[in-house]
Amino acid sequence: MDANPTNAYLRYDPLDAGNPAIGLDPGAQLYQPTKDNYRILQTGIAVGGPIVKDRLFFFAGLRPR
């Protein structure tokens, strides 16, 4: 559950190194992640069978991404 209405996240600032010699952490920043603009669609079809028993077979496959 997230009670934050802005959906912002707190993280360390990647551009601020802090000062590890004295134990100072990097600065913090708020950021809002971007939504993915793609969908994952993985389909697949496979058909196969004998043409001549124990001698000749056919097989077809399709998997568009």
How many CB atoms sit inside 10 A of residue 49's CB?
8
How many CB atoms sit inside 10 A of residue 34's CB?
6
CA separation for the pair 5, 30 (Å, rounded): 13
Each residue's pLDDT tens digit, 19-64 = 777 877 788 887 777 777 777 778 889 999 999 988 999 999 988 7
Look up the pTM and report it: 0.34
CA separation for the pair 17, 14 (Å, rounded): 7
Domain extent listing, the chain = 9-62
